[in-house]
Amino acid sequence: MRRTWLIFSQAVTVAVAVLFVVATLKPEWLARNPARMLPEIVTLQSAPAAAPASAPAASLRTAAQRAAPAVVSIAASRAPARSPQLDDPWFRFFFGDRLRQQQQPQVGLGSGVIVSPEGYVLTNHHVVDGADDIEVQLADGRAARARVVGTDPDSDLAVLKIDLDALPTVVFGDSAGLHVGDTVLAIGNPFNVGQTVTAGIVSALGRNRVGINTFENFIQTDAAINPGNSGGALVDVDGQLVGINTAIYSRSGGSLGIGFAIPADIARDVMVALIRDGRVSRGWIGVEVGNVTPEFADSFGLPVRQGALITGVLQGGPAAQAGMQPGDVVTQVGDRGVTDSRQLVDAVTAVRPGDEVRLGVQRRQQRLELTLRVAQRPVRAQREP
Residues annotated as part of the active site: 126, 156, 230
Q: How far apart are CA 229 and CA 73, in angstroms?
A: 9
Residue 96 three-state SS: helix
Q: How far apart are CA 316 and CA 313, in angstroms?
A: 9
Q: How far apart are CA 129 and CA 153, in angstroms?
A: 9
Contact present, 154 and 100 (Cβ < 8 Å): no
Backbone angles phi, psi at 310, to 5 degrees: -85, 110
- Residue among 267, 247, 265 nearest 256 (CA): 247
Look at the alpha carbons of 147, 230, 210, 273 in this order and tell me if their dihedral is positive or negative: positive
Look at the alpha carbons of 189, 192, 195, 199 in this order and tell me if their dihedral is positive or negative: negative
Q: How far apart are CA 272 and CA 28, in angstroms?
A: 71
